[in-house]
Structure 1
Amino acid sequence: MRGSLQFIGNATALIRYNGFTLLTDPNFLHRGQRAYLGYGMSSRRLADPAVAIEDLPALDAVVLSHMHGDHWDRVARRGLDRDTPIITTTMAARKLRRRGFRRSVGLEEWEQYELRGRGGSIMITALPAKHAPGLVEALLPPVIGTMLEFCNPYERVELRLHISGDTLLDRRLDAIPRRFPEIDLALVHLGGTKLLGSLLVTMDGEQGASWVDLIHPRTVVPVHYDDYTVFSSSLNDFRHHIAQAGLADRVVYLERGETRELAPHHLVRHH
Structure 2
Amino acid sequence: MQASVTFVGNATVLLRLGQFTLLTDPAYGPAGSRVHLGYGAWTKRVRDPALDVLTGVRLDAVILSHLHGDHFDSAARQRVEPSLPILTTPQAARKLRRKRFLAPHGLPPWECHEWTRDRQRLRVTAVPGRHGPGVVNSLLPDVMGSVIELEVDGRLATRLYITGDTLMDDMLGQIPRRFGEIDAMLIHLGGTRLAGLLLTMDGHQGTELTHLIRPTLTIPIHYDDYKVMKSPLTDFTTRAEHQGLTGITPIPRGGTIDIPLRPVVTGFSHPHNPAG
Task: Please give the range of the TM-score, normalised by the shorter of the 2 chains.
Answer: over 0.9
Residue in 2 that maps onto 1:181: 180
| Structure-2 residue corresponding to 1:82 | 82
- Paired position in structure 1 for 2:237: 239
SS in 1 for 2:32: coil
**Aligned pairs, how many?**
263
Counterpart of 1:257 in structure 2 is 254
Distance in structure 2 (CA, Å) of the matches to 1:73 and 1:215: 30
* Paired residues of 1:24 and 1:62 also in contact (CA < 8 A): yes
AA at the equivalent of 1:260: I
Unmatched 5+ stretches in structure 2: 264-276
Q: Secondary structure at the match of 1:84?
A: coil
Measured in 2, the distance between the counterparts of 1:68 and 1:122 equals 26
Please tell me whether the aligned partners of residues 131 and 202 of structure 1 are also in contact (alpha carbons under 8 angstroms): yes
Cα deviation, 1:85-141, whole Å, max 9, x if unaligned, reads 000000111111221211110011111111222351111111011100110001100
Matched residue of 1:135: which SS? Answer: helix
In the alignment, the residues of structure 1 paired with residue 159 and residue 106 of structure 2 have an alpha-carbon distance, to the nearest angstrom, of 21
Cα separation, 2, equivalents of 1:45 and 1:53 = 19
The match for 1:164 is 163
Inter-partner Cα distance in structure 1 for 2:242 and 2:260: 29
Gaps of 5+ in 1: 267-271
Counterpart CA distance in 2 for 1:61 and 1:45 is: 25
Separation in structure 2 between the aligned mates of residue 117 and residue 237 of structure 1, nearest angstrom: 41
Deviations 1:28-79 (A, max 9, x none): 1100001110011011001000115972511000011000000011111110
The alignment's TM-score, normalised by the length of structure 2, stands at: 0.92
Counterpart Cα distance in 2 of 1:157 and 1:131? 30
| 1:134 paired to 2:134 | yes
Q: Quick check: 2:183–2:259 contact (8 Å CA) kept in 1? A: no
Q: What's the offset of the Cα at 1:263?
A: 5.0
Partner of 1:269: none
CA distance in 1, matches of 2:56, 2:166: 27
Partner of 2:219: 221
Code of the residue aligned with 2:12 in structure 1: it is T
Alignment correspondent of 1:123: 123
Question: Are the aligned partners of 1:225 and 1:231 in contact in 2 as well (CA < 8 Å)?
Answer: yes
Distance change >3 Å, CA 54–CA 256, structure 1 → 2: closer
Within 5 Å, give how 1:15-54 maps onto structure 2.
Answer: 15-52=15-52
Q: Judging changes above 3 Å, is the alpha-carbon distance between structure 1 residues 49 and 119 closer, same or farther for their aligned structure 2 residues?
A: farther
When normalised by structure 1's length, the TM-score is 0.94
C-alpha spacing 1:67/1:56, structure 2 compared with 1 (3 Å): farther
- Asked if 2 retains the 8 angstrom alpha-carbon contact of 1:26 and 1:76, the reply is yes
Identify the range of structure 1 (220-229 vs 52-61) with the bigger mean alpha-carbon deviation. 52-61
Aligned-residue CA RMSD in angstroms? 1.4
- Distance between the aligned counterparts of 2:132 and 2:163, measured in 1? 14
Percent identity reads 46
SS at match of 1:108: coil
